[in-house]
Structure 1
Amino acid sequence: MTDPKLDPSTFGASFQAFLEQMAAQAPAQEPEIRRRIREHLGGDPAQMPVVSEQFAKYEHPNLHLALQAYLGQPEREAELFGITSTHEMFTARLSQLAAPRSAMPGAGIDVGPVEYVNLPLDQGRVIACVRSGVHLVRRGEQRLVVYVSASAGWRESLTLEVMAAERAEAEAVLAEVRNTMRARSIYRGHVISLEQPQQGTIDVRFHRLPAIGKDEIILPQGLLERIERQAVRFAELRGELRAMGRHLKRGMLLHGPPGTGKTLTAMYLAGQMPDRTVILLTGRGMGLIEQSCALARLLEPATVILEDVDLVAEERTRQCAGSNAVLFELLNQMDGLSDDADILFILTTNRPDILEPALAARPGRIDQALEVPLPDEGCRRRLFELYGRGLELRLSQLDAFVARTKGVSAAFLRELLRKAALFAADEGAGRVVEDRHIDTALRELAVEGGKLTQSLLGASAMSE
């Protein structure tokens, strides 16, 4: 008969227990990563301090470049190796990499290839940045371990960790890298905006503004000079103003009917101050006011342009709860900046009458409100010339057209000349635009287009 104590299931369990006992008694093999770190530092890494700092995902290119600058200093040498894990979502900390294998059972961490990721720069360029890698750094007798790790998933993070014999050494490395990131930021001096493609992640997008000449800004006499004085001249004289104890933080509100050139003027100002970082707050970026202002402080001198502020700064009685939060954040951030912060806020609105009184009038938020009105007779004549560039205007009734377009915006006149050019081209007249083309275009936009077209083109005040 078969002994019940020796049935297959009992035997299997006993044999497994035997193997586990033998494995436990066998000498533990030191992990390869720990061995490399230990030999590099010349001591037990589990007993050495680690100082870490987290950065926003969009700072990855700056961190990579700053670290390369640090590692590239004279007499400093570094060896780089990568980390691999059997768990895709697991990102080990430096203290775990330096610990015995028993400190992270089942993690499957080992030496592997260095991971790089291509990240966007301005003008369509990209840079390959280390996504996960360990630098064994030496300079003379000093030994350091610098670990870069970027975690994936729904909430991406970027971490830099430094291990050294003394905590002060590790802190000094982080401070130097941080200062270099700020001084050499890839965003400094560019036009950027912030976007949030998913919860917990912020991306920075580069923009290229069109080159706008001063002769393209058609405003009443003296208005552009006042605007430039508050923005451009202020920036040019910031050194003298600071020496005189004047604060540099300032805000400008450009208000007026739709289509009068407020946004165009703001873009022109940005182009006249190329040494400043320009941060655009539009669309999805409206919910990132705190982060945008923090970036402006980091990259000052900076200009923050917020278009159509009336969409987020209406009277509380006309808003939903979500819009109020955006307004309060804008006010808080403007108030929270120190007076010597060289940050210019340019806000535009079509509806100054419904703006929050504190935003429109209180000192420290908006210093000057400037109206950009509908073009007067002289401005309309200049706009015909401006938007007629590239065309051969043969107009015997220009004075009549200028008079008939009283109450229209610059945007309306721009579309009028484009529509007239379309009619001329459709007739086979080439670039020659005559009175009948302007007359037909004006009738189609102002009469046949109806009130909605007039409103869309900023011609609601046009007299029939």
Structure 2
Amino acid sequence: MTDPKLDPSTFGASFQAFLEQMAAQAPAQEPEIRRRIREHLGGDPAQMPVVSEQFAKYEHPNLHLALQAYLGQPEREAELFGITSTHEMFTARLSQIAAPRSAMPGAGIDVGPVEYVNLPLDQGRVIACVRSGVHLVRRGEQRLVVYVSASAGWRESLTLEVMAAERAEAEAVLAEVRNTMRARSIYRGHVISLEQSQQGTIDVRFHRLPTIGKDEIILPQGLLERIERQAVRFAELRGELRAMGRHLKRGMLLHGPPGTGKTLTAMYLAGQMPDRTVILLTGRGMGLIEQSCALARLLEPATVILEDVDLVAEERTRQCAGSNAVLFELLNQMDGLSDDADILFILTTNRPDILEPALAARPGRIDQALEVPLPDEGCRRRLFELYGRGLELRLSQLDAFVARTKGVSAAFLRELLRKAALFAADEGAGRVVEDRHIDTALRELAVEGGKLTQSLLGASAISE
């Protein structure tokens, strides 16, 4: 007969208490994982110190490679095994693994398969990294336990834990791994950007910049030389400048109308300094200025490129009631870098007037502002030659076309030659581009395309 006073919740609580009491009275069976750790250390692991450090998710490949380098040193041996738990979302700490079973009732932690995860490297390569695994390390009389774990929650985190007889031994391991990660970072010397996922973790993306020759940078006489001196030549002479007590941190602002080649020039500069890490700040990475600057500091010599900072300023002005949050954050981060940090900041903008008040309020952050203007007559002639490569230009009216395109950008001239090539191909003329093709293309872009097309191609001032 059922007791009416014993409801299901009361019965469940009583039954759980009964099971726990039975488990406590039963002979404790040491888990295999704890036995291995205890026998390896030669003492009770529950009494030994554990030192841990957390790393960003994007540092996982660096941590894996640094740990492999540490374990691969002469006379050092290591046994690797994985961990299994009855709770799928539970990530055990090393101190919990080493504790007696009674300290973690129901956790079900024991030896299991090593978990690996494939992570991206540059040029489409991947590397299989230990996601969860325990290393039993020995070198002579020294015994260590090194545990790598990545949590699987909403915000994935990466943790390295070291257990040793003395805390100083564990701290030394972490310091060595940390130094190796910095010296051998997979991001050093590459072009990268940071993005924030929906889960809040930061990912690093590799990029491949196009190869840009010096003859593709069409600027007024002497301008490219001044830009190169501030960026490339400065980097080449950093040793001499540092010896003379000159600071290496510097900022350059490239400003001018849209389509004049500011971004192309920045990419060209990056290609001329292949020994530097390049960090691109665009799109989803705009909110990660602090993290980007920290990474630049870690990977110096480095170049940070922030494109179209005026668009960011306008957007943040609308969002923050007059406060240009991104630009001020960048200036704050520049302030936080030591003067001898070899970090070059390249900013591009179409609207220097938006930035000037903020930059003027923080003098010295941008060392040089260089205008990249609309191409003059000589530059337009050179641009016809540049964008005419691969075509057979038979132009008897080149001088007239150069004059008619006064006030256009380099981007407009590139599209002009492309559209002229389209008209020639449509006629069956192959690569031969003649005056009529240029004339038709110019009329379509400058007249029939309307003001919007002119604006999109940087030709608002065209006289046509």
1:91/1:254 CA distance change after superposition, 3 Å = same
Q: SS where residue 312 of structure 1 aligns? A: helix
Corresponding position of 1:100? 100
1:10/1:151 CA distance change after superposition, 3 Å = closer
Distance, in Å, in 2 between the alignment partners of 1:398 and 1:8 is 93
Q: Shift of the alpha carbon at 1:359?
A: 2.1
Question: Larger deviation: 300-309 or 101-110?
Answer: 101-110
Q: Shift of the alpha carbon at 1:334?
A: 1.2
Distance, in Å, in 2 between the alignment partners of 1:5 and 1:208 is 73
CA deviation map 1:410-447 (0-9, x unaligned): 00000000000000000000000000000000000000
Contact 1:314 1:355 in 2 (8 A): no
Q: Shift of the alpha carbon at 1:2?
A: 14
Contact 1:407 1:462 in 2 (8 A): yes
Q: Shift of the alpha carbon at 1:173?
A: 0.1
Question: Larger deviation: 301-310 or 326-335?
Answer: 326-335
1:144/1:315 CA distance change after superposition, 3 Å = closer
CA deviation map 1:245-285 (0-9, x unaligned): 00000000000000000000000000000000000000010
Contact 2:331 2:362 in 1 (8 A): no
Distance, in Å, in 2 between the alignment partners of 1:341 and 1:30 is 53
Distance, in Å, in 2 between the alignment partners of 1:224 and 1:210 is 19
Distance, in Å, in 1 between the alignment partners of 2:380 and 2:12 is 95
Q: Shift of the alpha carbon at 1:319?
A: 5.4
CA deviation map 1:31-85 (0-9, x unaligned): 1111110000000000000000000000000000000000000000000000111
Distance, in Å, in 1 between the alignment partners of 2:232 and 2:9 is 86
Q: Shift of the alpha carbon at 1:142?
A: 0.1
Q: Shift of the alpha carbon at 1:87?
A: 1.4
Contact 1:312 1:323 in 2 (8 A): no
Identity %: 99
Distance, in Å, in 2 between the alignment partners of 1:349 and 1:158 is 38
C-alpha RMSD of the superposition? 2.8
1:456/1:46 CA distance change after superposition, 3 Å = same
Q: SS where residue 279 of structure 1 aligns? A: strand
Q: SS where residue 246 of structure 2 aligns? A: coil
Q: Shift of the alpha carbon at 1:220?
A: 0.2
Q: Shift of the alpha carbon at 1:388?
A: 0.1
1:3/1:198 CA distance change after superposition, 3 Å = closer
1:162/1:197 CA distance change after superposition, 3 Å = same
Q: Shift of the alpha carbon at 1:121?
A: 0.1
Distance, in Å, in 1 between the alignment partners of 2:280 and 2:29 is 55
Q: Shift of the alpha carbon at 1:329?
A: 1.2
Q: SS where residue 348 of structure 1 aligns? A: strand
1:47/1:316 CA distance change after superposition, 3 Å = closer
Gaps of 5+ in 2: none
Aligned: 1:363 with 2:363: yes
Gaps of 5+ in 1: none
CA deviation map 1:347-396 (0-9, x unaligned): 00000011142325743310000000000000000000000000000000
Distance, in Å, in 2 between the alignment partners of 1:339 and 1:239 is 14
CA deviation map 1:161-187 (0-9, x unaligned): 000000000000000000000000000
Scaled by the length of structure 2, what TM-score is found? 0.95
Distance, in Å, in 2 between the alignment partners of 1:442 and 1:69 is 61
1:80/1:241 CA distance change after superposition, 3 Å = same
CA deviation map 1:267-313 (0-9, x unaligned): 00000000000000000100100000000000000000000011223
Contact 1:335 1:364 in 2 (8 A): no
1:91/1:228 CA distance change after superposition, 3 Å = same
Contact 1:314 1:356 in 2 (8 A): no
Corresponding position of 2:235? 235
CA deviation map 1:208-248 (0-9, x unaligned): 00000000000000000000000000000000000000000
Contact 2:317 2:324 in 1 (8 A): no
1:321/1:15 CA distance change after superposition, 3 Å = closer
Question: Larger deviation: 301-310 or 348-357?
Answer: 348-357
1:4/1:409 CA distance change after superposition, 3 Å = closer
Distance, in Å, in 2 between the alignment partners of 1:149 and 1:10 is 39
Aligned: 1:193 with 2:193: yes
Contact 1:132 1:148 in 2 (8 A): yes
Distance, in Å, in 2 between the alignment partners of 1:96 and 1:453 is 65
Contact 1:360 1:366 in 2 (8 A): no
Question: Larger deviation: 18-27 or 223-232?
Answer: 18-27
Q: Shift of the alpha carbon at 1:199?
A: 3.7
Contact 2:24 2:102 in 1 (8 A): no
Contact 2:309 2:347 in 1 (8 A): yes
Distance, in Å, in 1 between the alignment partners of 2:18 and 2:154 is 43
1:419/1:106 CA distance change after superposition, 3 Å = same
Question: Larger deviation: 281-290 or 83-92?
Answer: 83-92
Task: Give the aligned length.
Answer: 464
Q: Shift of the alpha carbon at 1:328?
A: 2.3
Q: Shift of the alpha carbon at 1:461?
A: 1.1
1:85/1:395 CA distance change after superposition, 3 Å = same
Contact 1:40 1:143 in 2 (8 A): yes
Q: Shift of the alpha carbon at 1:109?
A: 1.2
Distance, in Å, in 1 between the alignment partners of 2:405 and 2:316 is 37
Contact 2:30 2:101 in 1 (8 A): yes
Q: Shift of the alpha carbon at 1:10?
A: 14
Distance, in Å, in 1 between the alignment partners of 2:188 and 2:6 is 76
Contact 1:58 1:202 in 2 (8 A): yes
Distance, in Å, in 1 between the alignment partners of 2:225 and 2:116 is 50
Contact 1:315 1:355 in 2 (8 A): no
Contact 2:254 2:370 in 1 (8 A): yes
